[in-house]
Structure 1
Amino acid sequence: MDYCVIKEGDVFYLTDKGGDIAAEHDGGYGLYTKDTRFLSRMEVYIDGEKPALLSSASDKSYFASIRTMKERKDEGAIELQRERFIYDGVLYERMTVTNYFPKAAACELAVSFDADFQDMFLVRKYRTGEVGRIIGRETGEQHASIRYEGADGMLRETVVQWDREAGRVEEDGTISFVLELEPKESVRICFAIMPLLAGQKAAVVLPFEEGLSRLEASYAAWDEETVSVTTDSELFNGLYRRGVQDLRMLMTDVGYGDTPVAGLPWFAVPFGRDSLITSLFMLPLRPEKVKGTLRTLAAYQGKARDKWRDEQPGKIMHEIRFGELVTTKQSPFSPYYGTVDSTPLFLALIGEYVRWTGDLTLAEELKPNMLRALEWIDRAVLAGAGFVTYHQEAEKGFPNQGWKDSSNSIVHASGEYAASPIALSEVQGYVYQAKKNLAPIFAAMGDATLAERLEREAQELQASFERDFWMEREGFYAIALDKEQRQVESVTSNPGHLLLSGLPERSRAEQVAARLLAADMFGGYGIRTMSTEAAGYYPMSYHNGSVWPHDNALILLGLSRLGFKREAGKVISGLLDASQHFEYQRLPELYCGHGAELGEPVPYPSTCSPQAWSAGTAVAFVQAMLGLDPNVPAGEIRINPMLPEGIGELTVERLRIGAGELSLKVTRLADGPDEVSVEVLGNTTGLTIVQSAVEE
């Protein structure tokens, strides 16, 4: 990555590798909360010059350390170490200045601050609009502030404090310290920067070490609360540790419990699809941690028909923003509902959650939301000639509304773009999975009539889908049906999601699994989004030939659930190989679809990292290696373990299922992914473990 980013709660901080936000920059650097940039400049100078970068480390998701220096050749240097984290809404940065000259030396450390309070959409040049103005600047001996009145009438303020008396505080936001240092002497100056909205009280600024200690304690508690996973592969262990730590960093509470935001730096807000899929991956971590996602999305469920936001009653949102353009209704993201898959995924996640926990209490709580979501699906099916379809209504919305939402992602074999309304293959799978899983839940809640109807509708959907989406010539499912109900015949990764839903009949599932791992789809570092033989294929595209880790993870869970162990092992191995080529072994949002013959994966030019559903991929690996499919209401836990190449032993402890915990150890016996033994280290779930069984 060419940037340094940290996040905690609803605040994140993005700078260049040297730790600065330059006055003239186009990288979107800044301190953000509520989709507003509260710090647009923070530059550090030593004796009027920018120090040279020595090192920049963000190997901890929540903490960054940067070393720079100003050198006088052959004589010595002044070194500056910058350490930073965010806690309780406050950005802490400690600057340690050390004299590495052989004699006493004096230097001036100057730090320049500014804030423009730009909306995130303006920073990204995604929208334009009318905005507010700076209404005041204030400076003192150990503090400065900048105040802004938005076009929405809301007051926003950035407050900067420091703990050492400054030699000079200028009106332009530059704070200078004259330091006289003996050889090897160090001086520390701590800054605290607070973004404040109208009516929000400033947090108590803690000593640097105390704030960091509290933050680290929260990460330690996260590790203690979640499942413990170790293997004999340091490659896997590193990926898993990074993924779990990033998931903790990406959690945000907008009032209804923690939910994973989509990713940094541009999508640090709750999403429908992204948060739901990430939460699906997180079930093995601790299933109750998905409650916040479900409650958040239920709270923002569509209530009316509003073309401006693509809102419809019962629909689950795509994305919510909180900046000035949204609050002044210059942007429809308040929230925006232009997604076709969030609603069935919401229902599918509830079903999977109950299978993991047996918790009908949450299902009862969300029953009104579930019923409204099912009604939305019913209306969408009627409008789509038997399938759930999408069509853009919002003028500033998205033309394509599945997970591949770029404008060129649904393309016929002829190269022609599909016309909407469009029925996506994977969306029908999500609907099928939702109805199959919810039928027994509604039966348990006393609504046998609805349960029977959902079961019947799922069977009818399966039959019509098999009839209309199967491409006999390709031996694969079409990515979609277009406006005229024509198959969009490109071979893509989308139908791979069907494996998890259980929709395909067995022989066709086998053909799908085989094609996904064929050379035109699997390049060595993962399954491509589009076949190299398709008309729209381009390895550096966003959706038409690139590799997305989360896409692979959804396919992987389906391969595991259906017992395709060799294919599952190949996917895990490919993504593991790719991970070692990325900074901090952090799987990015996506990378290019070039084959492994190039020696390493080719990075996508602009990608979010960390990305929540990419971070959750490592947890999906664990579930796939265990072949784990719990069904608490049925009183059983199915396991069908495998170990991919390079992993000889897997130990999983404190795996929360139902009212208890399960601990397992899987050991390789011979070559091949399914030549393993399983030892149950502990089982307090009260459930029966069924090994090496695949549900047909």
Structure 2
Amino acid sequence: MTDQIEMKLLPALEQEEIINSFALIEGREQVSTSTLTLKCGDTFLLADACGDLLAARQEMGLFRHGTRFLRTCNLFLEGLPLTMLSHQVADIGDSAHIDLTNTAFTSSGGELVEAGVVHVNRYIELEQDYQTQTFTVTNFATEPLQLRLSLKIGADFCDLFEVRGMQRPLRGTLQAPKVQRDRIVLSYCGLDTVERSTHIAFEPATSLVSAERIDWVLSLPRSEPVTIRLTINTHDGNAETILTTPATTLWREQQLPTISTNDPLFNQLLQRGMNDLMMLSTMTPHGFYPFAGIPWFSCPFGRDGLLTALEFLPWFPQVAQGTLAFLAAYQGTKVEPFTDEEPGRILHEFRTGEMANLREIPYIPYYGTVDATPLFLIVLEAYIRWTNDFAFLDKIWPNAEAAAQWIVEYGDRDGDGFIEYHTASEKGLSNQGWKDAWDAIVHGDGRVARAPKALCEVQGYVYAAYQSMATLARKLGKMQAVQQWEERAEALQERFLQTFWWEDEHVFYQALAENKELCDVVSSNAGQCLWTGIVPNEKARLLIKRLMQEDMFSGWGIRTLSTREKRYNPMSYHNGSIWPHDTALIGAGFALQGGKDEAGKVLKSLYAASQYYEDSRLPELYCGFVRRPGYGPTRYPVSCSPQAWAAGAPFILISALLGLHPNAEAHRLTLHQPTLPEWLHTLEINGLFVGGRRVHLRFIRMGEHTEVVLGKENEVDIRVL
């Protein structure tokens, strides 16, 4: 490769002038709102559309194991930033091609070089613990050019929580860089005694190297490409981490299902969701686990992983199995106030990195979640219905019993029948439902609710968890346990409807707070009760109608809090914003309760919103402003994208609209009133599996009716009700 490039050896003084010229380069850094996200295993890169890591964008960098190993990796031609022509990310999200070109500049000989005559292809590829970058430079000017290509390099080894803004009284020590003609080593000795280092090797070598910059002087004949290659390795020696392996090859070996409709843009949304699931799912020793989102939540989250698994379950049951197995392996076994661990409790969040090692944060793992434990049981029962995987059920049943026992013994401390939360950890979360911002649970007069708090939707989760335990116990022949869990479910439902139903508003109160004071606000929490089965039909119809009123349904989805409430703020995290996964779960509840027209409108709102985001990728959340005809939703500034449960939002709505009810043990799939929304004419599913047996279905909307066409290769009994 070295014969493709001519290196120009410069006098020491001239070399120093080149290296010192970065004051000019830094001043010309371009700030773009467009970003590029790559992930492989537990390594991820967040860059701008040119592949650069901008100082103005604090979240950018190359991250692994909760640490930023590369803060700067910015490319310049003749001291100027390049212009992006296009960037394309691989479907599975582990590599990207970026096409760049030059701006106009004056050469060292005083000649004007016009814009757009030099092409640079920047190819970035991630592996488990390293990244490669290849720069292919081609001159399309009529004459040969001699140009300087520069790469600015830097690493700060910040913990991800430092990147998020947490202040630390002390940090470790950045070591003296090691610089050679073909490599740079940047390293940091943490307060946890772990040495973390970034090794940047490049070919061809050059004498123009400093700790912060690499220069190549290129002689470029017309139309003859020159290639430069970097390999960036990350090392964190003796650090304690979650063992992961790259999942790219494993995904490609899977028999993946397909889903397509007559609408190519809707197909793009669905394909984006599937690709993002594969991108975010990391292979652990226990199977695939969908990391929650990039950049802030690229690690195992209990609630996020379980809800993502539930959303994608009909299409990717292997993700549900891996998620359940991982969470069972780390299930709580003791009482530990610092991490809010309790026997049987399912974890909330599992971080690695310097601050985790030093217990500056409690996420090692942290168990402060009230809903992951019942969700664990719900997903387990759903997984068994789809797969009939009795070997897995038999193995994980002790974990299920421990989880159910946690709900009874620790979830309901005061014995009133409702599951509430409060934090024991000084550094833990004050809110332990999915709305975990400090001000997410409120009273109608604007006061922030005080613990202990019993969320309405969590009572629904627990009801469904009790029913799940009864179903699983029946499969295992444990008939005494069946009766016990069914009685608990029935008693909870009765108490819940008496206590939480708000007749004046036709919703459920958001929560019970300290001293059993009602949180009298109209919120999306109430809507999530619908999919759990705790809401009887007559109240469900009233609730559906209420949530579709304009103070809750914005046109882009369902707001987390009504516009009429004192705490409403469309730009807040949880008090008026719109979360695609929240909207989708509510819409799925609509469909399950007979509101399929409303569910179709909810799906269309998410579909419409996706068209205003690059590659139709639904973000973690967006602002809750009312939909303005001809304009898109207002972006939330620090929303994660991709986000696993946002990627799965359309899929759970489709499952609910089609009424998919599996019975893998009986080799049967029942379709309850399958309904395509009025804006879709056809939908086809191929490669869906029920108990390992293949299903092929085609749905056609004929006026107000949806017709089901069965594929000849179906291996299960299909029933349409």
Whether TM-score is above 0.5 comes out as: yes
Is 2:634 the counterpart of 1:602?
yes
| Residues 470 and 482 in structure 2, CA contact (< 8 A), matched pair in contact too | yes
- TM alignment of 1:501-540, pairs within 5 A: 501-540=532-571
| Residues 599 and 653 in structure 2, CA contact (< 8 A), matched pair in contact too | no
Please point out which of 339, 347, 370 is paired with 2:400.
370
Is 2:516 the counterpart of 1:485?
yes
Secondary structure of 1:269's counterpart equals: coil
TM-score, L = length of structure 2: 0.89
Secondary structure of 1:268's counterpart equals: coil
Please point out which of 195, 202, 209 is paired with 1:155.
195
Residues in 2 aligned to 1:423 and 1:384: alpha-carbon distance in whole angstroms: 12
Secondary structure of 1:113's counterpart equals: strand
Partner of 1:359: 389
Offset, 1:652: 0.3
Partner of 1:643: 676
| Residues 98 and 187 in structure 1, CA contact (< 8 A), matched pair in contact too | yes
Residues in 2 aligned to 1:328 and 1:622: alpha-carbon distance in whole angstroms: 45
Residues in 1 aligned to 2:155 and 2:450: alpha-carbon distance in whole angstroms: 44
Offset, 1:520: 1.9
Please point out which of 679, 692, 695 is paired with 2:709.
679
Residues in 2 aligned to 1:36 and 1:309: alpha-carbon distance in whole angstroms: 21
Query: 1:28-56: per-residue Cα shift (whole Å, max 9, x none)?
Result: 22111000111122122222333344444
Offset, 1:220: 4.4
Residues in 2 aligned to 1:387 and 1:635: alpha-carbon distance in whole angstroms: 37
Letter in 1 for 2:223: K
Is 2:154 the counterpart of 1:121?
no
Secondary structure of 1:169's counterpart equals: coil
Partner of 2:42: 10
Structure 2 residue runs of 5 or longer lacking an equivalent are: 1-32, 106-111, 240-245
Is 2:505 the counterpart of 1:466?
no
Residues 1:311 and 1:630: Cα distance change in structure 2 (over 3 Å) = same
| Residues 333 and 344 in structure 2, CA contact (< 8 A), matched pair in contact too | yes
Is 2:430 the counterpart of 1:399?
yes
Residues in 2 aligned to 1:494 and 1:362: alpha-carbon distance in whole angstroms: 32
Residues in 2 aligned to 1:431 and 1:68: alpha-carbon distance in whole angstroms: 57
Is 2:613 the counterpart of 1:582?
yes
Query: 1:139-173: per-residue Cα shift (whole Å, max 9, x none)?
Result: 33322222322211222221112232324222x14
Root-mean-square deviation (CA, aligned residues, Å) is 2.1
Is 2:127 the counterpart of 1:87?
yes
| Residues 94 and 126 in structure 2, CA contact (< 8 A), matched pair in contact too | yes
| Residues 283 and 353 in structure 1, CA contact (< 8 A), matched pair in contact too | yes
Secondary structure of 2:81's counterpart equals: coil
Residues in 1 aligned to 2:301 and 2:350: alpha-carbon distance in whole angstroms: 7
Letter in 2 for 1:312: E
Secondary structure of 1:146's counterpart equals: strand
Secondary structure of 1:623's counterpart equals: helix
Please point out which of 188, 197, 203 is paired with 2:236.
197
| Residues 658 and 685 in structure 1, CA contact (< 8 A), matched pair in contact too | no
Offset, 1:74: 6.5
Is 2:654 the counterpart of 1:615?
no
Residues in 2 aligned to 1:433 and 1:107: alpha-carbon distance in whole angstroms: 66
Partner of 2:3: none
Letter in 2 for 1:94: T
Partner of 1:689: 718
Is 2:206 the counterpart of 1:166?
yes
| Aligned residue-pair number | 671
- TM alignment of 1:418-567, pairs within 5 A: 418-567=449-598
Partner of 1:184: 223
Query: 1:565-596: per-residue Cα shift (whole Å, max 9, x none)?
Result: 11111111111111111111111111111122
Deviates more, 1:446-455 or 1:313-322: 446-455
Residues in 1 aligned to 2:203 and 2:518: alpha-carbon distance in whole angstroms: 66
Partner of 1:303: 333
Please point out which of 356, 374, 381 is paired with 1:344.
374
Offset, 1:634: 5.9
- TM alignment of 1:39-438, pairs within 5 A: 39-58=70-89, 60=91, 61-66=93-98, 67-72=100-105, 75=114, 77-170=117-210, 172-198=211-237, 220-221=252-253, 225-379=255-409, 380-383=411-414, 385-438=416-469
TM-score, L = length of structure 1: 0.92
* Percent of residue pairs bearing the same amino acid type: 37
Residues 1:472 and 1:406: Cα distance change in structure 2 (over 3 Å) = same
Structure 1 residue runs of 5 or longer lacking an equivalent are: 201-213
Letter in 2 for 1:343: T
Letter in 2 for 1:65: H
Query: 1:514-543: per-residue Cα shift (whole Å, max 9, x none)?
Result: 212222211211111112222222222211
Residues 1:103 and 1:601: Cα distance change in structure 2 (over 3 Å) = same
Query: 1:626-652: per-residue Cα shift (whole Å, max 9, x none)?
Result: 221213346642213111132100000
Residues 1:215 and 1:192: Cα distance change in structure 2 (over 3 Å) = farther
| Residues 589 and 610 in structure 1, CA contact (< 8 A), matched pair in contact too | yes
| Residues 661 and 682 in structure 1, CA contact (< 8 A), matched pair in contact too | no
Letter in 2 for 1:351: E
| Residues 659 and 685 in structure 1, CA contact (< 8 A), matched pair in contact too | no
